[in-house]
Amino acid sequence: MEADTSAHPADATAFLYSDVYRLSVSVEGEGWTVQMLNGLAAVEFGESKEVTVYVSHTSRSTQSAVVTMQAASESDPSKTVMATAEISR
């Protein structure tokens, strides 16, 4: 499908085949923390993208924890995906 670029004063073709996703991450487990450096990711339609999540724990943390990450489309917030991973120290 060809995009109609005449409605924009500059060539925006490169931006018409991807979406921006708002990312969030959480962790369940005593003494564990998670964070991301960037809460947004641009991904071409039909593709996937790796996102780095930093995980740390205290010396008294539980042996394992569950990390949950969610991505929601900025153009259609009803489009979301969630993934979980069990981690251990």
Low-confidence ranges of the chain (pLDDT < 50): none
Q: Count Cβ atoms within 10 A of the Cβ of residue 4 and give its class: 0-12 exposed, 13-18 middle, 19 or more buried.
A: exposed
Cα–Cα dist 14/20, whole Å: 13
Indicate the pTM of the whole model: 0.78
pLDDT digits (tens, 9 = 90+) for 57-72: 999 999 999 999 999 9
pLDDT digits (tens, 9 = 90+) for 38-47: 999 999 988 9
Tokens matching residue 4: 């109609």
